[in-house]
Chains A and B, each alone.
Chain A
């Protein structure tokens, strides 16, 4: 009994993302966790709040030529080019395993046109085992000169409306940080019907090989992720949480429970762990344990008490 008293019961880590209830606030970010099965030998997947799978497009994409990634100070740049198996193979080959998991599966989607996003969402309607859709709006709109959907409030809203109208599950919109005022984009997708927003996607960056006098990445530019972007992400989550009334999911350089808790204090209802999965495949599970320990040690009734509880 002494032991039980010391440890206390397992703390209440449940959070709500609109109508979606997660057993804890820790998700794996799209593109850093494959289709989950890759991590099965190393992680107890059932301990996670949710799994967000690699972004899916209507047709398969083979992605960019090499070199696709490069390490930078406390971070990495990637230009994978959205390589994925396409929605049909995703449903036939990946979903059977995913729906067997006792953890919500969130499907990340991407497209070149509003129409493509709509068709993709329609294809996912009725597919068993999908808890929510996350919309990547950082892709270029090929019909609008390649400007990213996420850089223009009107386009961001249009994509959100198209997906939301077609979808039969909650819709989370993943915001790009490569804008002058992210709160404008957050409000635009909220107006478009988004059930939640997740942020931030990668920050656009570049690396140069001085010896060859060439860009390191074949794509020249890539997305910066990892601990290097955490302060920027934290600031944006804080600003967005103060500007919208839908739940905010924090992403950017999280590799510990402390990092995750900082995002929650800044106003995030949940977090996503991305690049850290590459370095420590068990990190997401360790963050769940760390959050549980914090809640217990600080005698909180629930993790929900901490959401946005930053003291001014």
Chain B
């Protein structure tokens, strides 16, 4: 995979909810090299504070040279990015990491919680483009309330997959967790589950998949400085002992290769 450092122009800014933002950037080299599950490192501002780039999974990458990131304003870095204007340039580095391994034969079940929905749109598109029979595919999206889910529903619907939604407060879709939906679904044997979301959610998804003998890939996040295997700051416990690094071994892992606290 080739990596690029690009000055990417912001061409669209969308405030999807009170604290969720989506940016569309012009980054042709990165867009051309990207696959679902890859991430980019973006610098917020040009100063020394905040110092480090921030990692973002690719929400979309299109053949017209555009990429999208979708994030929640959680700290100063994301707050600065949320105050950028259309036309401004951002220093973007990527694509990075190992993405989802798409099984073109198996039925797909995509499970996204909160900001974990971000990489699944790109994945849904690629799965759709593979042009196979998809009536058995399923997308499950969840979040705290409607603002986390509703604004993204149309983007997923265009791929024609069956879609189920859940929110913690019941303001959109059914009330409950994405894992409640997953549990209630009769997935076909051999279905591959592709998930992204908070760690407790992923732990439950992993548990459900183990119980049903389904293969499960998860995208996880970590603090990281470089995103390319140099700082070694993003380690996680490996199921076989020792550590894996989110930036080069992941961010997408087979769930069984990680240690789950549940």
Interface residues, chain A, with chain B CB atoms under 8 Å away: 31-34, 38-39, 41-42, 62-63, 65-71, 73-76, 78, 80, 83, 226-227, 255, 275, 277-282
Contacts and interface: CB of A to CB of B under 8 A. Distances in A.
Contacts of B242: 62
Contacts of A80: 231-233
Contact of A74 (B2, B51, B231): B51
A69 B43 contact: no
B230 interface: yes
Contact of B228 (A66, A83, A227, A281): A281
B130 interface: no
Given A69-B224, A69-B225, A74-B48, A38 B230 contact: yes
A279 B232 contact: no
Given A66-B237, A278-B53, 9 more contacts: A39-B228, A42-B3, A68-B223, A71-B225, A74-B51, A76-B52, A78-B231, A83-B232, A280-B5
A59 to B, nearest CB: 14
B52 A227 contact: no
A73 B228 contact: no
Nearest to B43: A279
Contacts of B234: 66, 68-69
Interface residues of B, number: 29
A68 B235 contact: yes
B198 interface: no
7 contacts: A62-B243, A68-B223, A68-B232, A68-B233, A73-B49, A74-B51, A255-B48
Contacts of A74: 48-49, 51
Nearest to A253: B48
A162 B43 CA distance: 44
B51 A34 contact: no
Given A70-B223, A76-B225, A39 B230 contact: yes
A227 B233 contact: no
A39 B226 CA distance: 11
Interface of B: 2-3, 5, 43, 48-53, 91, 93, 222-226, 228-237, 242-243
Contacts of B225: 69, 71, 76, 78, 275, 278
Contacts of B237: 65-66
Contacts of A275: 51, 225
B51 A66 contact: no
B229 A227 contact: no
A76 B232 contact: no
B230 to A, nearest CB: 4
Point out which of A31, A65, A71 has the most chain B C-beta atoms below 10 A from its C-beta.
A71
B222 A227 contact: no
Nearest to B52: A71
A70 B234 CA distance: 10
Contact of B229 (A34, A75, A76): A34
Contacts of A38: 228-230
Given A63-B243, A66-B235, A71 B230 contact: no
A84 B43 CA distance: 28
B52 A279 contact: yes
Contacts of B226: 277-278, 281
